[in-house]
Amino acid sequence: MALDQAAEAVVCAEGVIRRGIESLASAEGGVDRHQVLAYDVAHAAAATATARAALAYGQQGELEARITAAFVADVLADLGAKLAGRERQWGAGPELLAPADGFVAAHRDPDTLAALCGEEGPRHLGEEFELARATFHRFADNEIRPHAEHVHRTNGDIPEEIIRGLAELGGFGLSVPEEYGGFASGGESDYLGMVVATEELSWGSLGIGGSLITRPEILTRALVHGGTEEQKRRWLPSLASGELLAAVAVTEPDFGSDVAGIVTGATPADGGWRVNGVKTWCTFAARADVLMLLARTDPDRAKGHRGLSLFVVDKEPADGAGFVLEQAGGGRMEGRPIDTLGYRGMHSYELAFSDWFVPADNLVGGEEGAGRGFYLQMQGFENGRLQTAARALGVMQAAYEAAYAYAAERKVFGAPILDYQLTRAKLARMAVLIQATRQFAYDVARRMASGQGALEASMAKAYVCRAAEWVTREAMQIHGGMGYAEEFAVSRYFVDARVLSIFEGADETLAIKVIARRLTTSA
């Protein structure tokens, strides 16, 4: 009965979302003029899509149904809060959610939530993926976690033994087709395997675990979709084996998510191109052997994204302290590290290119690839958004486990804080949120394997990354004063989670320019 009521509640939420989309689509100026509404509609749509995926999970058992009901009730409550005082903009009122009021009250009841404390629910991955999960989890536990705190506290480099170990596991070849030395067979397992592996590696550490496989993943997707056969055979086997490590150079100081406006230029030269300009937030750029560089090859800026091309730029690896590389012909590349609050180990850089020479053969797609760079890099970034959602899942799971263990040990007023209703309700909401968003990530992975799911990948990224901020914040709060102490890993989870809504598409831009725009276009 609870699951039936949850399904009816989701239908109510979907009705409100439709009203919001229609209102936004018909409003003068659309998403660009009504940004607050666009942002709220996008996040509400993402939450409701997650709830829809959770319904399928809830059908697999009594515990799964209870977890689903608790999640759906929270989604409805949050949607009601978004509507409050903005009914005119949404074109909808609370009466549309009223049929679900009893369901929401029952499953947001504090005692009902507290009774779920400690119940994470099975993942229902199947034997093959459970084996993969166990393998990457063991690697994260044995090889990544022992280094995570030291690298974070010292802002150190990723230990080479982690890179070698991940290469031996095949972690860099998850998306590389089998014919080029990887493990991708072209089926559902490619995307789902990537999600599973990324979550477990991020459980070990976001900075030196889960994010290690993101950059080669982005470059791999671009090459698979747009590279020449010669380029695929040249780079993909080395990316799969970990012989070549990749970084991505797209963002510029004045152009973040507005990729179409970038100004770093590549001008024709004898036998290739000369690159001039500045890129920023190039994560892992020092240690990388190659850069995926997006540059303007058509000087007519009026052409926007149609004037951009994608290059694979060879470079020598360097340490994390910054670097200067020079070419015999006078080219120069300088990398300045950007100190960050968290997400350490990967290191981010500002890269300055001065007449850096790139051979003609390194233009992705060859001559036919000129002007297609924006589309090719988006092939990688759409999958990167799903992978970022998986990274958020790993950080949330680590924070939840740390909070639960601490709550069981820490005594206040004569009893473990795990015995208190508020603590139990918080932990239950964490576990419910993690499992529901995990199931949505699995659902999106299956969609993407069939050539769909680009919008849902953006939704997953937007929703899960904001959820990670709440989960890690509450995990830190459960630790009390010790949560603010650097000797406990939960403080690292908190600062690492903060970057998730910023990179791979800033939350506001993703919500307004991608999710809301696509929703209103199809309205």
DSSP state of 480: G
CA 95 from chain centre, in angstroms, equals: 35
Task: Give the containing element (helix H, strand E) for 94.
Answer: none
Q: What is the identity of the amino acid at 327?
A: Q
> Nearest Cα to 407, choosing from 418, 397, 420, 393?
418
Q: What is the identity of the amino acid at 225?
A: H
For residue 44, the SS3 value is: helix
For the question of residue 28 being annotated catalytic, the response is: no
For residue 505, the SS3 value is: coil
- Alpha-carbon gap, residue 253 to 264, rounded angstroms: 11
Q: What is the identity of the amino acid at 323?
A: F
- Alpha-carbon gap, residue 476 to 498, rounded angstroms: 13
- Output 125-128 pairs: Cβ under 8 A, ≥24 positions apart: 125/196, 125/442, 128/189
Q: For residue 253, count other CB atoms closer than 10 A to its CB.
A: 12
> Nearest Cα to 471, choosing from 418, 397, 391?
397
Q: Is 338 left (phi over 0), alpha (psi -120 to 50) or beta?
A: beta
Q: Contact at 8 Å (CB) between 509 and 401?
A: no
Q: Out of 382, 456, 474, 504, pick the active-site residue.
A: 504
Instruction: Report angle CA 217, 219, 221 to the nearest 5 degrees.
Output: 70
CA 58 from chain centre, in angstroms, equals: 25
CA 307 from chain centre, in angstroms, equals: 28
Query: What backbone phi and psi angles, to 5 degrees, belong to 244?
Result: -110, 125
- Cβ contacts of 146 within 8 Å, gap of 6 or more: none
Task: Give the containing element (helix H, strand E) for 506.
Answer: none
Residue with tokens 């090719």: 376
Cα 246 to Cα 100, 186, 190, 431, distances in angstroms: 49, 22, 20, 34
**For the chain, give me the number of helices (H) and strands (E)?**
19, 10
Cα 165 to Cα 140, 172, 211, distances in angstroms: 10, 11, 15
Residue count (the chain): 523
Residue with tokens 């001065």: 354
Query: What backbone phi and psi angles, to 5 degrees, belong to 422?
Result: -65, -45
Q: Contact at 8 Å (CB) between 144 and 205?
A: yes
* Active centre residues (catalytic): 504
